[in-house]
Structure 1
Amino acid sequence: MQKNLRALKKIKKIVLVILAILSLVAIGIFIFIQTLKPTYDGEQALPGLKNEVQVYYDTYGIPHIYGQNEKDAFRALGYVHAQDRLWQMELLRRIAPGRLSEVFGKDMITTDKFLLSLGIDDASEKTIATIDKNSEVIALTQAYLDGVNAFIKDGPTPMEYYLTGIDKEPFVLKDVYNTIGYMAFSFAMAHKTDPLLTNIKENLGESYLADLNSDENPALTLIKNFPQQQDSLKVSLSQVALAALEKLPVPMFEGSNSWVIAPEKTKNGKVIFANDPHIGFSQPSVWYEAHVSTPTYEKYGYHLAGVPFPLLGHDRNLAYGLTMFENDDIDFYYEKQHPTDSLKYNYKGEWKSYEIVTKTIKVKDEKDITFTYKKTIHGPVLNGIADQIISRRPISMSWIYTKLENKTLDAFNGIIHADNLNDFKKALEDIHAPGLNIMYGDAVGNVAWFATAKLYEMPKGVNTKLILNGYLGEEELVRYLDFSENPQAINPPWHYVYSANNQPDSINGKIYPGYYLPENRAKRITQLLDAKNDWDKDSASKMINDVTSSVNPTVMKNFINALNESILTDKQKELLRVLEKWDGSANLTSFETTVFHKWEYVLLKNTFLDELGEDRFTQIMATHFLKRLIAPLSANESSIWWDNITTQEKETRTYIVTKSYNEAFVLLEESLGKDYTKWTWNKVHTIEHPHPIGQVEALRSYFNVGPFPVNGTREVINNMAFSYADDGFHKVNSGPSTRRIIDFSDIENSISILPTGQSGNMFSPHYKDQAQMYVNGEFRKMMMNKEEILKNAKSVLKIHPE
């Protein structure tokens, strides 16, 4: 008995020791986690400050930064930005110089090769060598970087650095330009489109290309120009791009909506500004929100990680925002290789030596990779950067971004310091790439839209959507256009401006080539704006959440009219009668939306897969022109694509549409049940915000945010985009990166929302505190009144000179 008691006591002691150890470990983990959290209150010394800066954090972790001068304020901005978003900054600066393999290993080598070959890092190097280091723009940028580096030196290390095993490194000026370069390339639609269209033309013929509607179409809803008046203010390059960009652990810029309503159409007689840039979803989301105020400067702005100047912003005088212009600024060229000397190519009858570029990629847990590629007068030869390119013909890439002087930072410094429309417009001339639609509205009633990019004229008849002839010298740009020739509208008589990435109207009789998105959103926006003259903040906020398509019901009716109903079941016919009445709304309870997208996807496969094969079909599904093609294709009874070339019969539109409806109906019954009224959109359309570390399944629930059922769909105003998949689930991958409504009749109660939260630190209370609000279509105030900010501040961080 005593032996048993002694044994029990011994076990008890062991258990107590184990519990004590576990408690100490738990306490240690708790203390460690506390050290990783951002510091939103207290005091912080910062080297280089002249005067103390106060940072007031509101309910959602938005910093309101008050400084005595701009350098101090931007230095503080860099510090607070880094403590919430350092890991995001780290990833963005690694894209252009091909340094993702250092973090994620050998799976990123192809991506790093592709990105290095674009020449962004080399262009940034040239810019740094020639800029005026004493200019205001560089002084403010360096102050911001000093703040970032102060946090790197003294602040806690984000969890992602521990998990990936990389060290923190100071940020330098070139990192800022490289991040801007990522934004310039992020669009990347030329790489997905031009080689594919060339392939279709060369392998299938001109008739197949003609039916794809890949060219600009002046019959669609256009952005109307109104310039300022005198009295007014085997190749598989597409495979390479897809393979490289699919693995990119950061969001891509996709599209966007914006409209600015003039006083004549608003209830309170003041401008109302709306903007929701469409960007790939990620965690953290792309924008960092900050309100910066000094005696000489104030902006409530949205910042790209690692860039000091807000790309979206407003103050009491004016508001600005952006959408992607979608212009064509990349041209591909076939080069003529020397028959015996692989180091030479021919240009205008002369044999020239390739420039040989050698790059080294550091790879996590592997040996360094060294590779070379060639360059011609046009640009890098892409055959040297990926195994997928098997063409014997060298193909080079000419990209405006790397060819011209980079003044983008100067442009945005000018934008944020502009006090009026004329100064604002002047700053835009320095944006050469990426192509942006810059939207403007101000307190005195001006509204404006400017297509900003360095546009250029090509010889008549040259189709820049195809790979060009690089050796004859006859398909080179003729001239650069002056900024005054760019599409724009200033105070037009219809009393609003807008952009939905759709095609702008012509200037001087020319429609600029581009990779424009379909008219769907533009048509809905103009319908809503034209029909109403008493707009206010509430109605504008409802409009920015609108989920009704002005085009999809027409496409649905075209499908239905083409059907052979005689072979359908009674239940299938019954569903058709319901679908005929659908108004195009994509809300959570809509089963019509579920049917439409399943039918559309099956029809696209039945139409294109036989001619294109799996690889090219995947490529075409990733293009903008495919989205533009759907509506005209649904009405084109004689398209060459309807015939299935693998059969002896000649299939018709009626055959393909009917076959697709039958197959879609069966697939939906198998996945969602026999009752079509229960095929609701919320069951198949979800949004999840992925963190790069969340790709590890065990860590997904800790780092990712979501998933949530979400309304909206592709190419409605609330543009919740997704790629089609055979499993029938539509996982949203891009959409509004913020929604902003700025009402100049009540500027201090303007509203906004972020997709997840302000902080990228998973231990911050602001990591995902806006996620459900965003899905619900809700907003929060963008506070600018200092008295209100001080009264409602949740915490205060005082940053003083070291």
Structure 2
Amino acid sequence: MALIFRTLVWLTTASLVLATIGVLIVYYLASRSLPEYDNTVPVSGLTADVEILRDNSGVPHIFSTSDRDAFFALGYAHAQDRLWQMTLMRRTAQGRLSELFGTRTVETDKLLRRLDIYPRAVQSVAAQDARTLDALESYAAGVNARISEINRDSLGRGAPEFFVFNAPLAPWQPADSLALVKLMALQLSSHLREEVLRARTSLLLPDENRLADILPDIPGAGVAALPEYAQLVPGTSGETQFAQGGPDPLFWPVAPRGLAGASNAWAADETRSATGSTLMANDPHLQFTAPATWYLARLQLSSGGVIGATIPGIPAVMAGRSDAIAWGLTSSYLDDQDLFIEELNPDNREQYRTPDGFKNFVTRRSIIEIKDSEPVTLTLRWTDNGPVLPGTQFDLATITPPDHVTALSWTALSPRDTSMSAAIALMYATSLEDALAVSKAFVAPSQNLTVIDGDSIAMKLVGAMPRRDAGHQSQGRLPSLGWRSENRWQGVFPDDSNPVFLNPTGGIVGNTNNKTVDRPFPLHVSFDWGDSQRVMRWQGLMQGREVHTRDSFIEAQLDTVSVTARALLPLIGADLWFTGEAAPDGTPERLRQRALDLLANWNGEMNEHMPEPLLYSAWLRALQERLIRDDLGPLASEFTRVEPLFIERVYRDVDGASAWCNVIRSAIDETCTDIARLALDDALVWISENWGTSLESLRWGDAHQATHDHPVLGEVPILRYFTNIRQSTSGGDHTLMRGRGAGEGPNPFLNVHGAAYRGVYDFADPDSSVFILSTGQSGHFLSRHYDDLGTLWRRGEYIPMSLDVDLARAASVGATRLVRE
């Protein structure tokens, strides 16, 4: 017995020792890739020595004697902190993820190959102006200098992820940066999926009023009724297919519906500013990841200092300020994508129909190498309208007739995309007028560019606007016949057709992804917009005071009041509040009464510490599900988030919309009050099962956690506790401090999409401008800068956005000197 005991003790001790040694080895290898910020590094490619001074938040301040060297140092700093993120984004754009991740990413690679993103980026290099080419080449040289240093000094392969997914690291090229811009355009796109969904829904709902309920136009001047999709595309029928492709593949670059581009930006001129100078606030919204998409940086250029948010892999400050101007971005929702139904030649399936007869597809073979599997060879096909996409992607098979294929037209597929030149030129702009002039070079993604200088404010839609024929069959809202000449794009509109708002008499411009113009087709910009709710709260806050300050702009940026809740709750609960008899504790009726009492006294603030936001959100979600499930069947699963305009139309009975309340398959006629009561009970059952029956103790923030998950290590046991960043957050789908819910899964209210960057700029005192990230500067989970800014972000705090050198040096974490070899 004693021998067995001693043996067990020895085995346990040995196991613990071996485990400890293993952990120490892993830690040592991982920590080798932590960058040394206080260091002198000899590199080749510089014209003079450069200093990269990192302040106490890890923000690099780059000082050089030439612009070439400044971009070189930015590339070096990006590679120090975010090399894995840059590599992953490049592989995504190239369609080469499967070389690392095997069969899980084959469908993602297939999509990127078919779209031809990377070859188009290579072609676009020649379209850039000389200054941009210089910046791209210098930036690439800086990235490669860091890669050479890693290889030379055995610095842990540059990031811990490279130990798990081992593959040769190719040198960075100028085309890589352009490909990342196109990848961002794809991630911000939404109209492809909207066209497919509208087509599928129209096949189920031939009544145009019911289609207008579930896919409503933003209120304003009406849009002419669309023809039925079945009339547009011969061969489709009213019995739509429901073959579901399942969840999106790993690293799928097209955001789910409702999670494409979003953002806020607003500006005030000197007449609406307490300080007599201009103000601006901007918070671009993207899907949350760890690390965040954005990276803060400051460059000292020949035109002066520039500071703000960059994207690792791209040598430009995308949103920020210089000494002369400040600029911010919001998604414009420009309709820059169209799907075309292409008819195959029945005698030769390698041809498709055009206005002039049948024509051969442009084809090319592409081989996808797959880890631990045989390679896959794709035949890429293009029509005059764009690349052909398979029916297995985006549910295209459900709307494509037999003997037809679907092609995509999209402005980002231009081989002469000069968006990078525009982004670089913005950093050199010396006035608002100069900024608007250089913005003409933007192609994709289209954005609303908000700009201020010391005297003026403006907002302009930038990017190429497709020119459609006034006789287009669907006005770009549905897939259309590719061989009809009136459906095909006729180039793009000149830049002076893009809406611009310059120095308005009211003194304030802004955008929350709302409808900005009401122009007739084809100059309409879009029929589908990203917001109809936040803009109402923004208008109230902007007009609620005569003049604004930096602090009032911050207050608006962090506002968590839902005008949607304030408007919808009185509608859906009109016949439920203060009705019925008192019910005993423990009964469903009593639970419902408690929930109604809480909501009756709620002001609509989506505060993380309160129970009412969870009760409201669960009720609205259950209500929409009950309203649409019997009418749409499996297609109801596409509407995963509450559509406020739909709920309002139903409960105001706009054009007979209350018909949604009656359950088709039920023998009785349900009223909207019945459905509201049943939905509230559904919500309370769900809450009780997941969060308990003590309604007063519920916390919205427990359900509404911001999910900054690592895209690779975030699902790995144990490691996910080190790499994923979860934060209790306020806000919701329709608040200015937007926190978009996941819409599906065990917890549909997880905050997955919001302002990963916030900036507020004050030209009365530019160095009092502030900014913040939702995670930290570093992509290395062992670095203290991996999540340090996230704590401030969650609390609604900021860090100084200053070009003052002394302030940057105060309590800095190190200075890296790049010296010429």
* TM-score normalized by the length of structure 1: 0.90
Q: Is the 8 A contact 1:58 1:793 kept in 2?
A: yes
* Equivalent in the alignment of 2:134: 139
For 1:454, the equivalent position in structure 2 comes to 464
1:73-472 correspondence runs (5 A)? 73-128=70-125, 130-131=126-127, 135-155=130-150, 156=155, 157=157, 158-207=159-208, 208-218=210-220, 243-244=248-249, 247-248=252-253, 254-348=261-355, 350-383=357-390, 386=393, 389-390=396-397, 391=400, 392=402, 393-403=404-414, 405-443=416-454, 445-460=455-470, 462-472=474-484
More deviation in 279-288 or 589-598? 589-598
**Inter-partner Cα distance in structure 1 for 2:246 and 2:437:** 35
One-letter amino acid of the structure 2 residue matched with residue 466 of structure 1? L
How far residue 355 of structure 1 moved from its aligned partner, in angstroms, is 2.1
Native 8 Å contact 2:48 2:819 kept in 1: yes
2:229 equivalent in structure 1: none
Distance (Å, rounded) in 1 between the aligned partners of 2:255 and 2:85:
8
Aligned partners of 1:264 and 1:495 also within 8 Å: yes
Cα distance in 2, alignment partners of residues 553 and 171 from structure 1: 51
Is 1:619–2:629 an aligned residue pair? no
Counterpart secondary structure, 1:122: helix
What corresponds to 1:224 in structure 2? Answer: none
Match of 1:229 in 2: none
Q: Give 1:62's match in structure 2, choosing from 39, 59, 64.
A: 59
Structure 1 residues 663-672 or 61-70, which shifts more?
A: 663-672
The range that moved more, 579-588 or 378-387, is 378-387
SS state at 2:109 partner: helix
Match of 1:226 in 2: none
Conserved? CA contact 2:64–2:300, under 8 Å: yes
Structure 1 residue 260, shift from structure 2 partner: 0.9
SS at match of 2:317: coil
Look up the equivalent residue of 2:88 and give its one-letter code.
Answer: L
Shift of 1:211: 2.2
1:536 CA displacement: 1.7
Distance in 2, Cα, partners of 1:723 & 1:30:
34
Greater CA deviation, 341-350 or 234-243?
234-243
CA distance in 2: counterparts of 1:340 and 1:582, whole angstroms: 67
Tell me the distance in 1 between the aligned counterparts of 2:144 and 2:94.
Answer: 20
Checking the alignment, whether the CA contact within 8 Å between 2:196 and 2:395 is kept in structure 1 is: no
**1:597 counterpart = 2:617:** yes
Q: Following TM superposition, by how much is the alpha carbon of 1:728 offset from its aligned partner in structure 2, in angstroms?
A: 4.8
Equivalent residue letter for 1:548: V
Cα shift at 1:401: 1.6
Query: Could you tell me whether the CA contact under 8 Å between 2:127 and 2:418 is conserved in 1?
Result: no
- The farther-off stretch of 310-319 and 573-582 is 573-582
Determine which of 31, 37, 40 is the counterpart of 1:40. 37
Identify which range, 432-441 or 500-509, moves more after superposition: 500-509
Aligned-residue offset at 1:22: 7.9
One-letter amino acid of the structure 2 residue matched with residue 544 of structure 1: Q
Q: Is contact 1:302–1:311 with CA below 8 Å preserved after alignment?
A: yes
Q: 1:427 to 1:696 in 2, by over 3 A?
A: same
CA shift digits 1:731-777 (9 cap, x unpaired): 11110011111111221121111111011012222111112211111
Q: Secondary structure at the match of 1:665?
A: helix
Whole-Å Cα distance in 2 between the matches of residues 598 and 89 of structure 1?
38
Distance 2:371 2:716 in 1: 20
Q: In 2, distance between residues paired with 1:733 and 1:173?
A: 32
* 8 Å CA contact retained: 1:279, 1:734: yes
| C-alpha distance after superposition, 1:151-206 (max 9, x if no partner) | 11112211111111222111112211110111111123122211111112123314
Distance 1:498 1:241, change over 3 A: farther
Q: 1:239 to 1:81 in 2, by over 3 A?
A: farther
Secondary structure of 1:256's counterpart equals: strand
Report the more deviating stretch, 340-349 or 238-247.
238-247
Q: Given the alignment, which residue of 798, 818, 821 partners 1:779?
A: 798
Deviation at 1:588, TM superposition (A): 1.6
Amino acid at match of 2:600: E
CA distance in 1, matches of 2:820, 2:161: 30
Deviation at 1:24, TM superposition (A): 7.0
Give unpaired runs (5+ residues) of structure 2. 223-235, 582-587
Task: Measure, in 2, the Cα distance between the counterparts of 1:780 and 1:257.
Answer: 19
Kept in 2, the 8 Å contact 1:722–1:734? The answer is: yes
Distance in 1 (CA, whole Å) between partners of 2:14 and 2:561 is 64
Shift, 1:399, TM fit: 1.0
* Equivalent pair of 1:517/1:627 in contact (CA under 8 Å): no
SS in 2 for 1:153: helix
Q: Secondary structure at the match of 1:124?
A: helix
Q: Which moved more, 1:60-69 or 1:208-217?
A: 208-217
* SS of residue paired to 1:760: coil
What is the 5 A alignment of 1:750-789? 750-789=769-808
C-alpha offsets along residues 290-323 of structure 1, whole Å, 9 cap, x if unaligned? 1111454320021112100111121222100101
Q: Distance in 2 between matches of 1:237 and 1:332?
A: 20
Counterpart pick for 2:732 among 713, 730, 745: 713
Q: Per the alignment, do residues 786 and 661 of structure 1 end up closer, same or farther by CA in structure 2, a change over 3 Å counting?
A: same
1:658–1:162 Cα change, 3 Å? same
Q: 2:541: which partner in 1?
A: 528
| Alpha-carbon distance, 1:480 to partner | 2.7
Counterpart of 1:483, as a letter, is D
Provide the C-alpha distance between the structure 1 equivalents of 2:9 and 2:406, rounded to a whole number of angstroms. Answer: 75
Partners of 1:58 and 1:291 lie apart in 2 by 11
TM-score for the superposition, normalised by structure 2: 0.88
User: Aligned-residue CA RMSD in angstroms?
Assistant: 3.1
Percent identity for Structure 1 against Structure 2: 24
In structure 2, the partner of 1:538 is 551
Q: Compute the displacement of 1:245 (Å).
A: 7.4
Which shifted more, 297-306 or 725-734? 725-734
Alpha-carbon deviation of 1:215?
A: 3.2
- Structure 1 residue matching 2:248: 3-state secondary structure: helix
Question: Gaps spanning 5+ residues in structure 1: where?
Answer: 221-233
